[in-house]
Amino acid sequence: MSDLEERPDRPRVVTIRDVAAASGVSIGTVSKVLNGRGKLRAETRARVSAVADRLGFRPNPLAQGLLAGRTHTIALIACDGFSRFSVPVMLGVEDFLAPEEISMFTCDTRDDPIRERHHVERLLARRVEGIVTTGRRAETRHGLGDLPVPVVHTVSRSAGPGDFSVVPDDRGGGALAVRHLLAAGRSRIGHITGPRRFLAAGQRAAGLTGALAEAGLRPVAEPLFGEWSEEWGRQAAGILLRARPDVDAVVCGSDQIARGVAEAMGEHGRKVPDDVALIGFENWEPMALGARPPLTSVDLNLTEIGRTAARYLLDAIGGAPPQGGVLTVPATLVVRESTR
């Protein structure tokens, strides 16, 4: 038996031709009934609809979408191999799209502009109705240019004129961490973070110093900028303890840094949180939960950023595009043992 022959255990798919034959009308008439188009008598519409229901006919959604000028697809373009930053955004986009019955293509540019342009051209050839981009951190990225479909950028804000971006609140997250520590009775607070060249590192430090200033305080020492690594956390903790052995709390620019700081505090005879309270950033659960003790961490709400981006993209597809600019999604604090 060839693969094209009917198999007794495989139900036959009802086609539009079957509906037309059973209704005594043309295929074109059935198409008009199913798509609500054309001028037909009410009894004809009713008869064809009844036959389609009786036969169990299911229209092809792709074909229907093409007839209506829609494909019900969008694309997500990531620059970092679907890392811990892109994946939560992607899940948020999918969460919002699922009830709308919209599918999503995903592409990875590997931070290569040529590869990105290739992906965009291929996606437009597939007639996607919109594009979401996502980046590593809250840096500034180039826009995609003048495209025939709406684009919403996430995490990394676009420098393109008129572009719309949904980004995390790094500055607000830094302030949130400090207010939590102040409420817990800590006042000699240090800051260890990533490279100074990163916008996210600068914003997190600015949020921390701003919240301390509101309370009439300053950091116990100048913020220590270094690398996004545990090793830097260990080194910087030693530097901070030598300069200010009376420090009673540290806010770190990432969970990796905070985990290194936690290890160094133990090596220097300081208990977390009894002697030094500790807060990380990004709420990367494998890192935050694997630390000893588990880390209190600022969550940038990347999944919510994805949902928000999808909502604005669908509005734009529907004819109500957002004004260009940047929308900031507030951060939250996930409290664990390192500050309790």
Higher pLDDT, 60 or 130: 130
The model carries a pTM of 0.80
Q: What secondary structure letter does DSSP report for 11?
A: P
Distance in angstroms (rounded) separating the CA atoms of residues 247 and 241: 7
Residue 224, pLDDT > 90, answer yes
**Region of 296 on the Ramachandran plot (φ > 0 left; ψ -120 to 50 alpha; else beta):** beta
Q: What are phi and psi of 154, to 5 degrees?
A: -130, 155
Distance in angstroms (rounded) separating the CA atoms of residues 110 and 243: 41
Instruction: Give the per-residue pLDDT at 3.
Output: 38
Q: To which residue do tokens 């572009």 refer?
A: 163
Instruction: Give 61-101 pLDDT, tens digit per residue.
Output: 555 554 556 788 999 999 877 788 899 999 999 999 988 88
Q: Are 338 and 252 in contact (CB under 8 A)?
A: no
By DSSP bridging, strand 332-334 and strand 296-299 are antiparallel
Task: Walk me through the domains of the chain, giving residue ranges and CATH numbers.
Answer: 1-60 (1.10.260.40), 73-168+302-329 (3.40.50.2300), 170-299 (3.40.50.2300)
